[in-house]
Amino acid sequence: MTIRANWNYPNAVRFGAGRIKELAEACKVAGIKRPLFVTDPGLVNLPMTHAAIQVLRDAHLVTAVFSDVKGNPVESNVYAGIDVLRANKCDGVVCFGGGSALDVGKVIAFMAGQTRPMWDFEDIGDWYTRADPAGIVPNVCVSTTAGTGSEVGRAGVITHEATHTKKVIFHPLMMPKVTILDPELTVGLPPKITAWTGFDALAHCLEAYCAPGFHPMAEGIAVEGIRLVKEYLPTAYAKGSDIEARGAMLTAASMGATAFQKGLGGIHALSHPVGAIYDTHHGLTNAVFMPYVLDANRAAIEERIARLSAWLGLERSFDAFKTFVLDLRTALEIPATLAGLGVDSSRFDEMAEKAVVDPTAGGNPVPITKEWAKAVYEAALKG
């Protein structure tokens, strides 16, 4: 996985160590001359971020920087970024970081010239058609974590602050014009962030694979993404400087986000309310819920998971795959229960109600009801 490669699926992707040096060229391909560089507070002062910004400025691209982005982004982050974009007359956005920065950057680019409120474009029915395409500026994405896969997606997840509800903003033109996957940018990730984001990639692939409906291409991509996580996440966690493992995990993350056009499910539907209310890391929350949702969906997915298990070189059984998940959680020091996230039962009713209407709920292999959601919350707290 030390190779350099370009591919076009679902967008133009430049993969390989050192590809960040092509950032200015990527902006030119996208038609961006005055980029707004969107990142997060933890990255903005790092040498690799300064180096990326310098690549733009050395190419005479007038660059403004915005980094007021929360780990679980909120609407005020987006509007603050729009203000910076307009004040600096930016004509595009470079999204640099993990899922939070990428989601905010993409939504800023989408909202740059819109006159309607952001929530008018929530991913419900054809609401995206309300947007004025002329008010959308292009974006280029650079992923510095291997989890969300937002660098190959057409949406951003933003928390509605008044209701503590995560919502999806969607438009086809939010797809990045160019994505750069440079594993050297992920070498400095702490082991725990490597683990949490890696489980996010696994959750995307797993839920896409299990979602009902017929989409064999998405399923194939999901299965290979799961294999990459199985083979390379332990190495990336234990030996962060391993470029091959880092590259494989970046690829798996992008594959997960490509595959989940088929659907997500209960892991995400249950995690989103927890993240919105308790501000927990999304990938970590997914990791905690994964085995509990597998159990809750077992009747609908047992044979499918058995096939997956065999393909991964495990015993051909549901239990073998579940054991793999549990062992991986333990090896990567993921809490076994919600208590490890500081979550108690006091808001289970509220969270169960939110889970039922979460946009990912419809992709679960069994219907998500309030009773189903609450039962899984209780199981995940009890262990």
CATH superfamily ID and name for 190-382:
Dehydroquinate synthase-like - alpha domain (1.20.1090.10)
Give me the pLDDT at residue 2, please. 64
Considering the segment(s) 5-185 as one domain, its CATH architecture is 3-Layer(aba) Sandwich (3.40)
Rounded CA-CA distance 291/295 in Å is 6
Secondary structure class of 211 (helix, strand, coil) = coil
Give me the pLDDT at residue 3, please. 84
Nearest partner of 30 among 139, 110, 134, 175, judged by Cα: 139
pLDDT tens digits, residue range 187-237? 999 999 999 999 999 999 999 999 999 999 999 999 999 999 999 999 999
Please give the structure tokens belonging to residue 373.
């959601």
Q: What global pTM score does this model have?
A: 0.95
Q: Is the separation of the CB atoms in 185 and 231 below 8 Å?
A: no
Q: Which segments in the chain show pLDDT lower than 50?
A: 1
H helices of the chain, in order, are 23-30, 47-58, 75-87, 99-111, 191-210, 216-238, 243-259, 266-278, 282-296, 298-311, 318-331, 348-357, 370-382
Secondary structure class of 342 (helix, strand, coil) = coil
pLDDT tens digits, residue range 50-81? 999 999 999 999 999 999 999 999 999 999 99
Rounded CA-CA distance 305/260 in Å is 17
How do 165-170 and 155-160 pair as beta strands? Answer: antiparallel
Structural domain boundaries of the chain? 5-185, 190-382
pLDDT tens digits, residue range 84-113? 999 999 999 999 999 999 999 999 999 999
Q: Is the separation of the CB atoms in 141 and 179 below 8 Å?
A: yes
